[in-house]
Amino acid sequence: PSINNHEAKKRLGHVTVVVVGGTGDLARKYLWQGFFQLYADQVGKGHTFSFYGGGLSPTEKGTPLLFGILKELACPPELSAERCTLVKDQFLHLSKYHQLKTTEDYEKLSQQIKQQLGQEGMVEAGRLFYLSVPAFTYADIAEKINNTCRPPSDAWLRVVLEKPFGHDLYSAQALDKKLSDQLKEKEMYRIDHYLGKFLCFRKKSLTKSAKEHHVLEIEIFCRIQFYDQYGVIRDVLQNHLTEVMTLMLMNLPANLSNSMEILQNKLNFLASLQHVDNSNAVVGQYQAYNGEVQEELNKTKDYFSLTPTFAGVVIHVDNVQYEGIPIFMTSGKALDERVSYARVLFKNDVFCIQDPNNVQCKSKQIIFSLGHGNLQYPAILISKNLFKPELVSSGDWKEVTEYKDVNVLGLPLSDYYIQSPVTPREAYCELISHVFFGRKDSFISAEGLLASWAFWTPLLEGLSRVFPRVYPGGEANGNLLNFQLQGHQVAFSHEAVVNVINPGAKDNFQVMQGKYRSSEMVSAWAQELVERLASDLLLAAEEAIREEGQFHLALSGGSSPVALLRALALNLYTFPWRNTHIWQVDERCVPHTETGSNFRSIHDLLLQHIRIPYFNIHPMPVHLTQRLCVEEDGGPALYEKEINKHVNGSSFHYILLGVGQDGHTASLFQDTKLENDEERLAILTESPIKPHQRMSLTFTAINRARRVGVLIMGKSKHELVSQLSRIKGESSKYPITKVQPKTGTLIWYIDYDALLG
């Protein structure tokens, strides 16, 4: 039988496909196979086609390269050998190489397309450009397409863009601006081949299982072969795994073919993600990577790359459905198995006494296997002790009943209900088909791209100064990359034995003790300093509770205690919170629910993560009778009365202070008048910066404390630390110098950035 597109049942018009970078590696491995599959699917159904492989090489060099690729294309499994030979011959006949280097080259291509349409009397349906080229060329090529290769207004234009789409929020915004100057958003298809792997899975909703069972955690894992200089977070987590997460956890629209609603639901989910920073991530670098980079970039042996090749990140969501459920996103190179999956792990409320191997005693989980690993094919696996899924009625899926003798994430295959696509399609084949049909839900919108970068960029900026943990690769990694959840944060479970990256001498300091302004001083790099301060607080708490049964801790506001509060939140079980009272050193005169409130900061960073009796929390009363810090309302007197009631001798066990760059501490400033308030424990004060009104403990209250810690961190405080070291005794210019506990102990906690500059 012959194939004659002119005798197709419907005349749907002619489609021109142009693969820019058509002889490159991606085109050779995946793209031409995808377009061959598209042609095989559509031949005889009403469209006619022509295919161009574009490249920088002249025609005489590029043509044999292109046809060398096309002749190696595999037959789609649904075609017989005879039919495939016919379809493939026709596909090669419709394909041509075209040099695409200059604007004139693109003009010639456009003229050739018009000439072919005119000669054969065809109506143009549209033009599909696939840019399989480096991202830095996108803007230039988009301009050439816009100026020379646009089809008539009644035909469509679709331009496919491969990642990366920028390397942070700012570069992504700049690229988006350049592209949107040339192309409409509806014309751009930002591709992520992992979407193709995951699209079919999400049609099977998690809503039923999430409502009927308690979700314990969600894992998204990808182990792939290599990363470029972008590193694992930019190369995999920000795009592939973020897209898997949004497709997996967004609200499903009633109509799965509604592209706009799907894109909006993805945006809504991204907007619900909580902020992530260094405390939510661990990073590593496999041992041979640095040598590879030195060789590739022609660097000397003293060059060290901080590019991570492994990352584990915990993400939390601010919505009712997933509140409190950690999402673990992990990817790495040189792990012991190449596997990609997304898993929902459920709580198992069955307690087994004698038969732990009974299926009801095992993990309850849903696994979306994206291929590779023990299973080798894409599938959905549902634990038999969870529920039996219905088979999708479309005929695209089948139930797997023959089990290989392998385990998948802790369970043998026989413990799962397994469903798999009847005919698994390569991801690029799926996505190319969706471009052809204009299915935008399968691609990344500009809003979604920028929302993803807005989420990841703060973490990337924070990790840019972090040395990744070095690991050997493969089975030799042992437990080196295992990490654990601590509150809302993550940390490696085991100490690293070896660190191949040797920082400078300054970086080899651990914790040092000395004297500063005639008092004790502890110095270290920021993380070690905060850990030491948290440890000292724990010792002080245990001592106070042994002697008096309770521990009274007063915390200052501002930026200084933020890292400490996060560290304390990790001590959910070791710190004696039940016997601890939390007080405020100072407060801004704003409602406690507002983000500028010091109490709100203490709540968000610490209180909401720990189990502490409600009556042990003592916020400063700045909001009385629907007014803020009005003298007649007597807020300071009320707080003083509460201190006298609960704190023995009005002497806090521990007061933690910070220091502003102007030398103020608590909310006690250079101009604060204290002459008439010498015996008062709390007063209203005025700050030189907004919000001006404050409430603060007085120096009388501070200097009665058993222990006072002053935490100073950051290079911006170096000059202040130097100035204070030269001042003997008190100085009215620097209120911090008035902190002189009468019978207690003063300890300065100063990080190396503040101490050494």
**574: its two tokens:** 């070791």
Measured distance CA(639)–CA(644) in Å, rounded: 9
Which amino acid is residue 127, in one-letter code?
Answer: R
Catalytic residue flag (residue 240):
yes
What is the C-alpha end-to-end distance of the chain, expressed in Å?
A: 81
Catalytic residue among 98, 193, 240, 488: 240
Residues 6+ apart with CB under 8 A from 3: 43, 44, 86, 87, 90
- CA distances to 392, 426, 428, 430, 432 from 196, rounded to whole Å, are 18, 8, 7, 6, 9
Place of tokens 């802790």: 410
Written as six digits, the tokens of 682 are 């709390």
Neighbours of 503 (CB within 10 A): 10
Place of tokens 């085991």: 494
Check if the beta carbon of residue 426 is closer than 8 Å to that of residue 433.
no
Burial 91-128 (b: 16+ CB within 10 A, else e): bbebbbbbbbeeeebbeebbeebeeebeeeebebbbbb
Q: CA angle, corner 314, sides to 308 and 320, nearest 5? A: 150
DSSP state, residue 731: B
What DSSP letter does each residue of 568-579 carry, written as one string? HHH-TTTS-GGG
User: From CA 433, how far away is CA 581, in angstroms rounded?
Assistant: 62
Q: How many Cβ atoms from other residues are within 10 Å of residue 610's Cβ?
A: 18
Q: Which two tokens stand for residue 744?
A: 């207690």
**Which ranges of 579-631 would DSSP assign to H, the alpha helix?**
598-605
Cβ atoms of 284 and 490 within 8 Å: the answer is no
How many other CB atoms are found less than 10 A from the CB of residue 306? 15
> How many CA within 13 A on the CB side of residue 637?
6
Strand partners, 13: 47
Strand pairing of 617-618 and 580-584?
parallel
Say how far apart CA 457 and CA 59 lie, in whole Å: 43
Cβ within 8 Å of residue 44, ≥6 positions away? 3, 5, 8, 9
Q: What's the full length of the chain, in residues?
A: 757
Active-site residue list: 240
